[in-house]
Structure 1
Amino acid sequence: MTEQTKATILVVDDTPDNIAILSGILKHEYKIKAALTGKLALQIAQGQDKPDLILLDVMMPEMDGYQVCQALKSNPATAHIPIIFVTAKTETQDEQHGFELGAVDYITKPVSPAIVLARVHSQLSLYNQSRHLEALVKERTRELNESRIEIIRRLGRAAEYKDNETGTHVIRMSWFARFLAEAMGQPEEWCELLYNAAPMHDIGKIGIPDRVLLKPGKLDAEEWAIMQKHTQYGVDIIGDHPSPILQLAREVALTHHEKWNGKGYPSGLVGEDIPLSGRIVAIADVFDALTSERPYKKAWSEEQAIALLQEEAGQHFDPQLVPLFIECLPRVREIQQKYKDQID
C-alpha cells in the first residue's frame, strides 16, 4: 500500500503520550494526523484533506469528546466521517451516550494494539463499502435522470411530428429558451431545468383532431376553440408529478400562449402574472416558428422575425425579454446552423 492510498486517521487526545501510543500502533498501515484539542480537531476534519476515521478521546478540557462528536455530526461536510471513542470512561451509560451522538465504536483505555487495529480496520471497511454504495446510487440516479430527460425530449418531438413538423423545432427553441434565461441571469440549475422542460410545450397537440391540427387554411371559431385546448391537454398529459422538471414542463405547456397584454390563452394572464417560463418560451417558440421553413410556408428572415418581436414587445411579449433575446442572436444562429430542418 502506497502512502497515497493509505487511509488517514485523525487521533484526538489532550495527552501527547496517548497520541504517541495510538500513532505507534497505526502508523505502519495508515497516515496519521493528530490534534491535542477539540477545536483543532474540528479544523482538521473540516479541511480539504479530510480524515477517513477519527479516534476521539472523551475527557478533554474546554471542549470534550462528546461536544466534538456532536459538532462533527451536525456539519454535513463531516457528518459521514466514522468516529471511534477512545476513553477511560467504562460505564455503560457513557458508551450509550457516545453511540447516541453518532459514534460507531467505543474502545477503552488502556488500549490493546490488536483491538485498536481490528476495530479501525473493521470500521474503515464498512465506511468504504458505504461510500462505494453511495457512488453506485449516485451513478444510477444520474442514469435515471438522463433517461427521464431523454423521454421528455422524445415525447416533445413526437408531438411535433403529428403537427407536420420535423422534430428539430423543439431542439432549437429549447436552446433559445435556455439562452434567454441565462441572459436574464437566472440560476444555472433553473436554466438547465427550463432547457429540459421546454420540449414538452406543445405535447397537448397530440389530443387535437387532425382535421383541426392539419387544416391548411385558417381555422374557424369552433376549430380555434378546439386548438386552444392543447394547453390544457398538455397539462393533463404531463400530470401533477412532484418532479421539478415535470412541474416546470406543466407550467410551460399551460402558459406559453399567454400574452403580456392579457389577450392570450387559456387564462388571459397579464404581464408578470404569466410565469417567467411561459414568457421565455413564448419568445423562443414564436421566433423559431417564424424563421423555420415548412411545406406550407417560407421561412421569415431573421430581420423580419426580430422586427415582429420588437413590434409585439409589450403586447404579445415581455418587453424586458425581447432586447435580451436580441443579444442572444449570435448563439441562436449557431443552433439554427447545427439543427437545420430537412424539408422534402
Structure 2
Amino acid sequence: MLDWMRHRQLHGPPPHGVGDGVDPAELEGHLHGARSRILDAFELALQAREPQLGLMDHAARVAMVAGRIAASMGIGDGDRYILNTAAQLHEMGMLSLPADLIERRGTLSPQELQWVRGQARVSADIARAAYHPRIALLIENQYRDHTELRRDGLSERDLVLAGIFRVADVFATVTWPRPYQAAMSAPTRSHLLQSGAGTRFDPLAVHAALSAL
C-alpha cells in the first residue's frame, strides 16, 4: 500500500480525466478525509493486534503533552497540527515488529530496544506517504539527541518542533508505564529532563514541559 501511495505522490492521479471539473477545495476536503480514514485504519489494526499494550493510549498522551508544551511556547496552529499528527502516527510502525518482541515484559536488551526504535522508520514512511514530509521528519528523528539534530542543519522551525516532540515522547513514556519500562517518579522525571537539557533535549522544550505539566 505504501508503494502505491508513493507512486501517487510522484506521478499524480491516473490520466483519464479523473478530477476534471472538480473544485480544488472540494478535492482537498476529500483528500483530508481519506488521510483521516487511513489513520483510523492503522489505529484499528494496532488495537486489534495488541490491545493490551495501549499503543494508541501512548500516542494520545504524547499528542496531549506535545500540545501543552507547544501552547506554552506560543507555537501556531499549523505547527501544532504537525505535532499532533506526528504524535498520533509515531507508533504505527509497531505493526512491523514481531509480536513476541513488543509483548516482552521487563527491560529490553540494547539490541531489542534498537529493533523497537527502528519502527520509527516505518511510521515515518506512513506519514510521508499519507500526510506531509514535515510530519515524517519529526517521527524519524524522535530518538535523536538535540545536539545531533542541530548538526544536521534542520530549519529553526523544524528543530523547535523536533525538540518538542522528543521531550513529549520521553515525558509520556516515563510518566505512564510501558510493558518494558516502569514509570518514573516526578522528581526522577524532572532530573532526567533537566540533566539532558541542551544535549539530549531542547532546553526550551524542557522548561516548557516542566512549567506546563
Match of 1:236 among 112, 120, 125: 125
CA distance in 1: counterparts of 2:42 and 2:132, whole angstroms: 12
Partner of 2:145: 259
Q: Give the number of the structure whose alpha-carbon radius of gyration is greater.
A: 1
**How far 1:257 moved relative to its partner?**
0.6
Residue 223 of structure 1 is matched in structure 2 by 112
Q: Structure 1 residues 224, 246: CA separation in 2 closer, same or farther (over 3 Å shift)?
A: same
Question: Deviations for 1:127-155, whole angstroms, at most 9, x for unmatched residues?
Answer: xxxxxx96xx7567446525523542563
Q: Aligned-pair distance for 1:199?
A: 0.8
Return closer, same or farther for 1:193/1:220 CA change in 2, 3 Å cut-off: closer
Cα distance between partner residues in 1 of 2:152 and 2:204: 11
**SS of residue matched to 2:166:** helix
Question: CA separation of 1:149/1:197 partners in 2, compared to 1, >3 Å: closer, same or farther?
Answer: farther
- Counterpart of 2:60, as a letter, is I
1:52-99 Cα distance to aligned partner (Å, 9 max, x none): xxxxxxxxxxxxxxxxxxxxxxxxxxxxxxxxxxxxxxxxxxxxxxxx
Partner of 2:87: 198
Match for residue 152 of structure 1 among 36, 39, 52: 39
Determine the structure 2 residue equivalent to 1:318.
202
Which of 1 and 2 has higher RCO (CA within 8 Å, sep 6+)?
Answer: 2
Structure 1 residues 327 and 225: CA distance shift in structure 2, 3 A: closer
Structure 2 SS opposite 1:314: coil
Q: CA deviation at 1:239?
A: 4.1
2:133 is matched with which residue: 239, 247, 269?
247
Secondary structure, in 3 states, of the residue corresponding to 2:56? coil
How far apart, in 2, do the equivalents of 1:281 and 1:153 lie?
A: 21
Determine the structure 1 residue equivalent to 2:173: 289
Cα deviation per residue 1:294-336 (whole Å; 9 max; x = unaligned)? 566654343432232222212321112111122222xxxxxxx
- Evaluate the alpha carbon distance shift between residue 272 and residue 209 of structure 1 in structure 2; reply closer, same or farther with a 3 A threshold: same
- C-alpha distance after superposition, 1:226-264 (max 9, x if no partner): 3332122223334445xxx432331122011111244xx
What is the alpha-carbon distance in structure 1 between the residues aligned to residue 72 and residue 36 of structure 2? 23
> What's the TM-score, normalizing by structure 1?
0.45
CA distance in 1, matches of 2:26, 2:175: 40
1:172 to 61, 65, 73: 61
* Alignment correspondent of 1:186: 75
Q: Where does structure 1 lack aligned partners over 5 or more consecutive residues?
A: 1-132, 263-268, 330-344
Q: What's the CA shift for 1:158? A: 4.6
Give the conservation status (yes or no) of the 8 Å contact 1:252–1:277.
Answer: yes
Residue aligning to 1:75: none
What does 1:82-93 correspond to in 2, within 5 Å? none
Cα distance in 1, alignment partners of residues 102 and 150 from structure 2:
27
Letter in 2 for 1:210: A
Q: Deviations over 1:272-313 (max 9, x none)?
A: 746433321111111112121456665434343223222221
Identify unmatched segments of 5+ residues in structure 2. 1-21
Aligned match of 2:19: none
Residues 222/292 of structure 1: CA separation in 2 closer, same or farther (3 Å cut): closer
- TM norm structure 2: 0.69
Matches within 5 A, 1:71-86: none
Contact persistence 1:170–1:199 (CA under 8 A)? yes
